[in-house]
Amino acid sequence: MSDPAIIVSPMSRTTAVQPSFDDLGVPLADVTFVVVDLETTGGAADSEITEVGAVKVRGGEVLGEFQTLVRPSAPIPPMIQVLTGITNQMVAGAPPLAEVLPAFAEFARGSALVAHNARFDTGFLRRGYEQLGLSWPRPTVVDTVAVARTALLRDEVPNCKLATLARHFRSTTEPNHRALSDARATVDVLHGLLARVGNLGVHTLEDLTEFALQVSPDRRAKRVWAQGAPETAGVYFFVADSTAADGTPKREVLYVGKSNNLKRRVRSYFSAAEKRGRIHEMVRVATGVEFIECATDLEAEVRELRMIESLAPRYNRRSKNQRKLTWLKLTDEAFPRLSVVHTVRDQAPHFGPFRSRDAANEAALTLYDAFKLRRCTPRLSRRTPSASCALAEMGRCLAPCELGAGAEAYPSVVEEVRSSWEADVRPVLRSVRGRLTKLVGQQRYEEAGEVAERLTAYYRTSLRFHRVRSLARCRELVAAVPSAAGWDIHVIRYGRLAAATSAPSARARTAAEEAAAMAETVLPAVGGWPAASIEEAERVAAWLELPGVRLIETDGSWEWPLHAGLPDGALPRELLGEQPLAELLAS
């Protein structure tokens, strides 16, 4: 899969696109609002509805009203009776909620719900729907409290209570804690607020909901950028066009992302769903957004990684330093030692990668505990002996520096280390059994936990090592997975995605052959590591491990050593041995 230049067709630029009606949203004059208010027995989770009042309006005209008392299953608390004026006698002959909610659902069907402090009212409605087995329609909800807090200044109203706003907008109905009266007052407040926010660029239902969530007008206006985006998998990138000091055009890619539905994902950047401060800043700076369609989700993931690595967009945080990793290396000298390195430059044995130098040093300590490797850094001679250090006196190093028996036995220790990397992780894991058993027996659980945590981290690195190495050693894999279009097909060479396509089932075999024939030429990397970044190889490996993936062609072996990993749940037994933990704690 060759990397495209960051050039797209003229239609993919979105800075000068005329918005369609779909992108503009539903004009407020065409929206049917159902303004609802509930009276309840309280605000607790077990409280019940005692009255429902609602007014249906559109374009400033009242279309209908809905009002009924509701008989709760428990008495109304005295304080609530005083507040609302609704008594137990009044609701004794009222219909139960099981009769009221279906009628209200029909009244409100297809409408946007409006309420003052909407979370309270919609919370009771949703709970009632669930109790009755009704499907909650997920309507658009407008909270007049939220709109008022954004639209009105503090010197205009002291607070956003319904009575305060009703007086401010000269409502013809005074709210009195009865459902229909409060709903009528909320209608007047709604109309007053709509007149106010219309001067602030709020003209559609979508504008109104985003305005209530404090989405800036500038960000809402850029929502039309998503119009040219396809509803397919791909990569999107925000750009900033400017002019350099010498007058030449200048372009910067600000942010790169991927999605399986580009249009839906890009639109989310201009709505209240996007809450990241740095992304708000990025959208403000951006002058446009562009797209690259991809045949499959995996291709989109890989293109995103490669673009982030090559362009280093300033608003991306993840995946910018894909090559900034750390390995442990067995040095190429008379008596090899462990060295922490940041690049693989030769064929010497390497283990990792680790995400930090500290993690590599922790793994080195694990290996020193398991094998009597030397820790000193001087280059030792095979012919001239030198003085040993304190570790040799403690029996924790073979002291090859002294030559003699230690030097003769040292190559076998180095081979054990190499084997633990390449073939069998169990000797490293089992090396702490005695120490862990002793610590647990002495109830030194914190120290035992630190040892176990270090071995667990080492084991996870071993799994990562074999996962990427097994792919890197395979010259070619052609694999497919079922998709909505038929089959997603990928060609993978030395751990790098070389081609991607999608085809209906009838053409899957032919499409796979064509993809392999047209795939990018990939050469093996130094040391048997992936020809791509480690992060790309891991994404490819994750895709290959999905349920339903089928191998079509293989050139080389995609395999792990038998003991590179452990069965599920076997790690504690490898660390502690056959004796159950309960017995250790009891001993």
Tens-digit pLDDT string for the chain (587 aa)? 655 433 333 334 444 344 444 445 789 999 999 999 999 999 888 899 999 999 999 999 999 999 999 999 999 999 999 989 999 999 999 999 999 999 999 999 999 999 999 999 999 999 999 999 999 999 999 999 999 988 888 889 999 999 999 999 999 999 999 999 999 999 999 999 999 888 777 888 888 887 887 776 677 778 888 888 999 999 999 999 988 888 889 999 999 999 999 999 998 888 766 777 788 889 889 999 999 999 999 999 999 999 999 999 999 988 888 888 999 999 999 999 999 999 888 889 999 999 899 999 999 999 998 999 999 988 999 889 888 888 888 888 998 999 989 999 999 999 999 999 999 999 999 998 888 888 888 888 898 889 889 999 999 999 999 999 999 999 999 999 999 889 999 999 999 999 999 999 999 999 999 999 999 999 999 888 999 999 999 999 999 999 999 999 999 989 899 999 898 888 888 888 865 444 444 44
pLDDT for position 273: 66
My answer on whether 129 and 276 are in the same domain is no
My answer on whether 256 and 333 are in the same domain is no
What does the block give as tokens for 181? 């009266």
The whole-angstrom separation of Cα 209 and Cα 221 is 14
Phi, psi of 554 (to 5 degrees): -135, 140
The whole-angstrom separation of Cα 148 and Cα 211 is 10
- Under DSSP, the state recorded for 396 is S
My answer on whether 439 and 485 are in the same domain is no
Annotated catalytic residue 342: no
- Under DSSP, the state recorded for 95 is P
What does the block give as tokens for 230? 């396809």
Overall pTM > 0.75:
no
Distances (CA, A) of 113 to 36, 139, 160: 7, 7, 19
Q: What SS3 state is found at 61?
A: strand
CB atoms within 10 A of CB 575: 22
What does the block give as tokens for 49? 């509805």
Specify whether the CB–CB gap between 340 and 364 falls below 8 A. Answer: yes
Per residue, what are the HEC states of 409-428?
HHHHHHHHHHHHHHCECHHH
The whole-angstrom separation of Cα 330 and Cα 559 is 24
My answer on whether 75 and 185 are in the same domain is yes
pLDDT for position 389: 86
138 in any annotated domain: yes
572 in any annotated domain: no
Specify whether the CB–CB gap between 369 and 417 falls below 8 A. Answer: no
pLDDT for position 76: 93
Crossing angle between the packed helical segments 297-311 and 534-544, to the nearest 10 degrees = 170
State the Cα angle at 100 between 107 and 79, rounded to 5°.
120
pLDDT for position 125: 96
* CB neighbour burial string for 227-260, b if at least 16 within 10 angstroms, e if fewer: bbbeebbbbbbbbbeeeeeeeeeeeebbbbbbbe
CB atoms within 10 A of CB 133: 7
My answer on whether 117 and 233 are in the same domain is no
The CATH number covering residue 71 comes to 3.30.420.10
Query: How many structural domains are present in the chain?
Result: 4
Tell the residue number behind the tokens 């109203």, with chain if given: 157
Active-site residue among 177, 191, 203, 280?
177
What does the block give as tokens for 500? 């991607």
The CATH number covering residue 235 comes to 3.40.1440.10
CA-closest candidate to residue 51, choices 17, 9, 97, 115: 97
The whole-angstrom separation of Cα 174 and Cα 163 is 7
Of 169, 203, 237, which one is at a domain's C-terminal end? Answer: 203
Residues 6+ apart with CB under 8 A from 263: 226, 229, 230, 231
My answer on whether 176 and 101 are in the same domain is yes
State the Cα angle at 188 between 186 and 189, rounded to 5°.
60
575 in any annotated domain: no
My answer on whether 364 and 443 are in the same domain is yes
The whole-angstrom separation of Cα 552 and Cα 501 is 14
Q: Are strands 476-483 and 288-293 parallel, antiparallel or unpaired?
A: unpaired
If phi > 0 it is left, if psi is from -120 to 50 it is alpha, else beta; for residue 104 that is: alpha
Of 245, 276, 311, which one is at a domain's C-terminal end? Answer: 311
The whole-angstrom separation of Cα 406 and Cα 411 is 9
My answer on whether 195 and 226 are in the same domain is no
Specify whether the CB–CB gap between 310 and 249 falls below 8 A. Answer: no
The whole-angstrom separation of Cα 513 and Cα 476 is 12
Of 281, 311, 341, which one is at a domain's C-terminal end? Answer: 311
Phi, psi of 135 (to 5 degrees): -85, 125
390 in any annotated domain: yes
Specify whether the CB–CB gap between 473 and 528 falls below 8 A. Answer: yes
- The parent domain of residue 360 ranges over 326-466
The whole-angstrom separation of Cα 311 and Cα 313 is 6
The whole-angstrom separation of Cα 409 and Cα 573 is 30
563 in any annotated domain: no
Size (the chain), residues? 587
Distances (CA, A) of 281 to 229, 237, 274, 323, 495: 22, 15, 11, 28, 36
My answer on whether 439 and 504 are in the same domain is no
pLDDT for position 443: 87
- How far is C-alpha 90 from the geometric centre of its chain's CA atoms? 52
State the Cα angle at 270 between 265 and 275, rounded to 5°.
90
423 in any annotated domain: yes
584 in any annotated domain: no
Q: Are strands 338-341 and 350-354 parallel, antiparallel or unpaired?
A: unpaired
546 in any annotated domain: yes
The whole-angstrom separation of Cα 487 and Cα 507 is 9
What does the block give as tokens for 395? 């029996």
My answer on whether 160 and 93 are in the same domain is yes
- How far is C-alpha 70 from the geometric centre of its chain's CA atoms? 44
My answer on whether 346 and 457 are in the same domain is yes
The whole-angstrom separation of Cα 230 and Cα 293 is 8
My answer on whether 226 and 340 are in the same domain is no
The whole-angstrom separation of Cα 521 and Cα 545 is 24
* Termini Cα distance of the chain: 60
Distances (CA, A) of 549 to 384, 477, 483, 545: 58, 12, 11, 7
What does the block give as tokens for 533? 């970044």
